[in-house]
Amino acid sequence: MKDLLRPGELRELAGDRSYARGESYFSGGLVRSLTQVGQRLSAVVVGTRRYKASIWVADGASREEDRFREDKDWGDDDDSCEDDEWDNDGDEDGDEDDEEDEEREDGGLRYICSCPAGGFCKHLVAVALAFRAGKADVLDGGGDDEESAESVGEGRLTGAEKRTGEGKIVEKAVGKGGKSAATANAASKTATSKTRTPDLQTHLMAQPKERLVAWVLERAALDGAFLEQLRLDAAAANPAGVDMADFRRRIDKAFDFPDGYDPDGDDDYDGYGGGYDEDRTVPMERIEPVLKALEKILAQGHAAAVASLAEYALVEFEKVATRLGYDPDGAASIGKLFCVLHVQALRAHPTKSDPQTLADWVFNRALAAAPSYGGFPWEEYRSLLGEAGVKRFRSKVETAWAKVPVRTKDQRKFEDNSGERHFLRDAMIAFAQADGDVDARAVIEQKDLSSEHNYLTLAQIFRDAKRHDEALEWAEKGWQVFAGDYRHAGLREFLATEYRRRRRVDDAMALYWDEYNRQPGLHTYAELKEQADLGRDWPAWREKAMVRLRESIEVERRKAQRDAEKQQAARNAYGGGASWHGEWASRVSSAADHSRLVEILLWERNPDAAWAEAVAGGCSEALWLKLAETREKEHPADCIPIWHHRVTNLTQNADQSNYAPAAQALQKLGHLLHRLDRNKEFAHLMADIRQTRRARRNFITELNKLHLP
């Protein structure tokens, strides 16, 4: 087993990311109660939640779990997908799982974790690493080498052997301890062969059955999940057949997620009877035993019973699905697992349901399903439905779809996000696509014209069908309907492309000019340039754009001036003085300064022009600092007032978070002044700062840290 869990193998199984996370889980001591029984490791891994993880080597004894595992992975390849027309969303997982299954068959590694991640997750990596580090508590003779794994067979120790067996086992364990440092513990080395406690398996084998049963029942009474597992095991092993009422009770219990159940909550919610609270966080842990039991009775040939119970479970699931969270790996896979089982059972017992009845049932389930978990996987049933069933299903979908109200821009507020609408739309699209019917597809999309995106979708459908006139028509319609609103960038781009296709360059440019004209700034400027570059006529557009930008700044400036005059008048009325912030204040604030020009010129890598604009009309502090960066090398003197202002700004208030940046700004200023032989000036400044800010101890500490004078 150790050979199968070498770091290289683990990394390959888990991927680099999960491996690294598993490593830190292990080194962080998050692997709890790791036990080894034969070739099986089990542990609880405590992260944000508690997960149960097991790794074992496949052999005949674990067939049952193997089968379950295959289904959990949806790797069930019985579920024939011959009708390509239905297979719109494709089962991407399929191939990968097939590979895994093959690997498992030749005595490979098997594993399961109760977390939703699937695959060989970080928890399993952590368990494997803990095992390699010798952290496993070996409950039986130790299954790490072939020899002892074989000898720890079921029922090997009979009562008669018990009396003489003890010494034998002890000897063996000691021998093993010497061979393998990892499974030996310190205690076993110091124990003498006479007093060493036998391993748990040996001990339990020697107990009377009555005592074991009493123990198990005692534990089950305290552990609701374990109790349910036992009950399901009993139900599945019932020699008299299938007790349907009992199975329904078990299903009810498994799906008993009361209102307020929160699978993501870490608080100690315990509104759940029977001591289940420890396991409440992972729905799948409760569902798993039910699935296993149904699997078992299906294998025994009770296909009709399983079909009926799976149907029952799916209806129960429907009632609580929304409580199981939005994690698609949680609720969605539970729904899908029962569907897979249902389909298997129906296939094993074809007379159970006629296609018409099945079509109605599938339709009703899909209609009721909440979209939060991805909807009801009705595609699973396609091969079972056959031609007649599909026809029935489709006609039901079409009838219901006809009643779905049309959504328009004005009705957006009344948007219903029901699963019904989602399911019907998806099903309608699946049929239309299978028929290759573009018009039908477009009619479906026209049921919802509540956003620009809907128009874009329609336009794209026609474009993809090379029906460019209709494509343009829908794009223009959407553009018109939503005029005045926030414009959809995708729709604009689509329209521009269609105009260019028709060599209507002016129309394409107008779309981008309108946007720039409305909101001249770097973002719209860059978009305008991108479009103009397509026609290689940027210089002319650039000139126009600059004129427009200056015009816009001038409008803002006048507005700001009026506001300032009003404020000044108000201040004078109350006898206030002038702002001590002085000249710089007007240069670094307000939307009316040259910030937008500076930003665009810097973006165009024209730092000198940007500097000239900043000096002429001011800009934001962030831009001043950017400008300082561009001028530091060749014009250090230009940067001094910028850094000086930064220091003033940062030291005005006793704000702890500004202390370190202020000290850094002073350091910068010191370097610049030094380059200009103005050290004296800097010394004066520092003396002044140390004097006036002496009460701010932490600030002084920051200055000292940087060895400032």
Name the segment binding Zn ion (CB under 5 A); options: 25-33, 117-125, 455-463, 587-595: 117-125
Name the minimum Å distance from CB 118 to Zn ion.
8
Residue of 115, 129, 673, 689 that binds Zn ion (CB under 5 A) = 115
Contact, 371 vs 322, CB < 8 A? no
Who's near 326: CB < 8 A, 6+ residues apart?
372, 373
Name the segment binding Zn ion (CB under 5 A); options: 89-97, 118-126, 380-388, 659-667: 118-126
Task: Give the number of residues in contact with Zn ion, rule: CB under 5 A.
Answer: 4
Strand partners, 45: 31, 51
Residue burial 537-555, b: 16+ Cβ < 10 Å; e: rest: ebeebbeebeeebbebbee
Name the minimum Å distance from CB 18 to Zn ion.
9
Name the minimum Å distance from CB 53 to Zn ion.
6
Question: How far, in whole angstroms, is CA 377 from its chain's centroid?
Answer: 21
SS3 content of the chain, % helix, strand, coil (to 5): 70, 5, 30
Contact, 41 vs 131, CB < 8 A? yes
| Nearest residue (CB) to Zn ion, 10 versus 472 | 10
Amino acid identity at 549:
L
Per-residue x/- track, 120-149, Zn ion (CB under 5 A): -x-x--------------------------
Using only C-alpha atoms, the chain has a radius of gyration, in whole angstroms, of 37
Name the minimum Å distance from CB 45 to Zn ion.
7
| Nearest residue (CB) to Zn ion, 23 versus 599 | 23
Q: Which two tokens stand for residue 40?
A: 């099986």
Name the minimum Å distance from CB 117 to Zn ion.
5
Name the minimum Å distance from CB 112 to Zn ion.
9
43 forms part of the interface with Zn ion (CB under 5 A): no
Nearest to 184 by CA among 148, 137, 127: 137
Q: With H, G, I as helix, E, B as strand and everything else as coil, classify residue 414.
A: helix
Say how far apart CA 245 and CA 264 lie, in whole Å: 32
| Nearest residue (CB) to Zn ion, 111 versus 376 | 111
Q: Is 136 left (phi over 0), alpha (psi -120 to 50) or beta?
A: beta
| Nearest residue (CB) to Zn ion, 65 versus 702 | 65
Strand partners, 52: 44
| Nearest residue (CB) to Zn ion, 113 versus 600 | 113
| Nearest residue (CB) to Zn ion, 22 versus 141 | 22
Nearest to 641 by CA among 587, 578, 699, 707: 587
Nearest to 110 by CA among 233, 5, 8: 5
Say how far apart CA 73 and CA 118 lie, in whole Å: 8
| Nearest residue (CB) to Zn ion, 56 versus 699 | 56
Q: Where are the alpha helices (DSSP H) in 185-282?
A: 186-190, 200-205, 209-222, 224-236, 244-254
Name the minimum Å distance from CB 328 to Zn ion.
16
| Nearest residue (CB) to Zn ion, 123 versus 447 | 123
Say how far apart CA 199 and CA 172 lie, in whole Å: 11
Strand partners, 618: none
| Nearest residue (CB) to Zn ion, 121 versus 456 | 121
Q: With H, G, I as helix, E, B as strand and everything else as coil, classify residue 59.
A: coil
Say how far apart CA 500 and CA 512 lie, in whole Å: 13
| Nearest residue (CB) to Zn ion, 41 versus 115 | 115
Name the minimum Å distance from CB 334 to Zn ion.
17
| Nearest residue (CB) to Zn ion, 111 versus 624 | 111
Residue of 5, 31, 34, 113 that binds Zn ion (CB under 5 A) = 113
Who's near 606: CB < 8 A, 6+ residues apart?
none
The binding site for Zn ion (CB under 5 A) comprises: 113, 115, 121, 123
